[in-house]
Amino acid sequence: MRTDSPDRGVNSMMLPRRQFLCLAACAAALPAAPRIARAQAFPSRPVRIIVPTAAGGPNDILTRLIGQWLSERLGQPVIIENRPGAGTNTATEVVVRAPPDGYTLFSAGPASAINATLYEKLSFNFLRDTAPIAGVMRVSNVLVVHPSFPAKSVPEFIAYAKANPGKLSMASGGIGSGSHMAGELFKMMAGVDMVHVPYRGAGPALGDVLGGQVQVMFDLLNNSIEHIRPGKLRGLAVTTATRSHDLPDIPTVGEFVPGYEASAVFGIVAPRNTPVDVIDRLNKEINAGLADPGIKAKLAQLSSTVLAGSAAGFGKLFADETEKWGKVIRAANIKAE
């Protein structure tokens, strides 16, 4: 007669089952292991961020701030490489052709969204060939006029422009520049006719507004603010959806032209197919930097607002900017020089 307990048979069946469940759980975790190891290993060498403009501009300044922060957080040097030329297209092509490993990044600005439509034969598609990592900041433009100009508000400006069609000159930093696009959008939405006068850069354009040679410009706020405060220029309105913390008494264009918004959006992208875990790591570290009081204070000096958020959120924002400026370029029949 057997003296074994009935539970013994059950236990002898349970042990292999437990082992099976353990092995199954371990096997399920295996696909994640390479991703975790890669994220922990990144970066194992210096990272470079390519800036498509010359040193000293907003894009360059913000990239150096973020680069220094990333270097401290990642434990590897972050090299800032300025590659101006061809309206930022030269630098963009370098990045989209780089290995998608997280070691070559790009500091994207408004030109990247504008050029997608402005140039008919690019060798790349920016939205398709890059992977968004993180937004960094949004900078407002400001509608400025010489103090001698008769209009002292946006409604007065629109009324004057409509009474004098084609007689106002609108300066910009060049065909397809952010100042040009902001002005063209205003012309479309306000129903006014102004003559566009492109310059080789925002500096010479603003100089002629200061001198009274041209009447109006939609300049970056951080460029014009030093002239607005002492009264050398009159700021009629900022172009963002909300008022600027630097000049809270100046209204937005949208307060008089409903739906109007124009600003310079900046952020960091990588080549397409960069591993998601690398993008997530970089997004996390950049957002941590944007929350740092020191970096926030320095970005505020550029009259900007911080664009913290997810990689997908920045990608959606940049796609929306590309679509918006594409509509303006097509409607105004703007062609690259």
Is a pLDDT exceeding 90 seen at residue 35? no
Note the pLDDT of residue 26.
Answer: 44
Is a pLDDT exceeding 60 seen at residue 326? yes
Q: What is the mean pLDDT of the chain?
A: 89
- For 283-294, the pLDDT digits (tens) are 999 999 999 999
- What residues does each domain of the chain span? 46-138+264-332, 140-255
Query: Helix %, strand %, coil % for the chain, to 5?
Result: 50, 20, 35
- For 303-321, the pLDDT digits (tens) are 899 999 999 999 999 999 9
Query: Quick one: tokens of 2?
Result: 């057997």
**How many CA atoms does the CB half-sphere of 286 hold within 13 Å?**
31
Cis peptide before 271 (omega within 30 of 0): no
- For 179-207, the pLDDT digits (tens) are 999 999 999 999 999 999 999 999 999 99
**How many CA atoms does the CB half-sphere of 25 hold within 13 Å?**
6
d(CA 184, CA 331): 9
- For 136-188, the pLDDT digits (tens) are 999 999 999 999 999 999 999 999 999 999 999 999 999 999 999 999 999 99
> Do strands 263-271 and 47-51 pair parallel, antiparallel, or not at all (unpaired)?
unpaired
Is a pLDDT exceeding 90 seen at residue 16? no
pLDDT-above-90 percentage for the chain: 82
Note the pLDDT of residue 22.
Answer: 44
Note the pLDDT of residue 40.
Answer: 58
d(CA 123, CA 86): 13
Mean pLDDT over 249-272 rounds to 97
Mean pLDDT over 74-95 rounds to 95
CB 224 within 8 A of CB 178: no
Q: What is the CATH number of domain 46-138+264-332?
A: 3.40.190.150
Note the pLDDT of residue 41.
Answer: 86
d(CA 222, CA 57): 10
Taking alpha carbons only, the member of 140, 318, 314, 152 closest to residue 242 is 140
2/246: higher pLDDT: 246
| Domain pair 46-138+264-332 / 140-255, same fold | yes
Q: What is the CATH number of domain 140-255?
A: 3.40.190.10
Note the pLDDT of residue 165.
Answer: 94
Q: What is the pTM of this model?
A: 0.85
Is a pLDDT exceeding 70 seen at residue 6? no
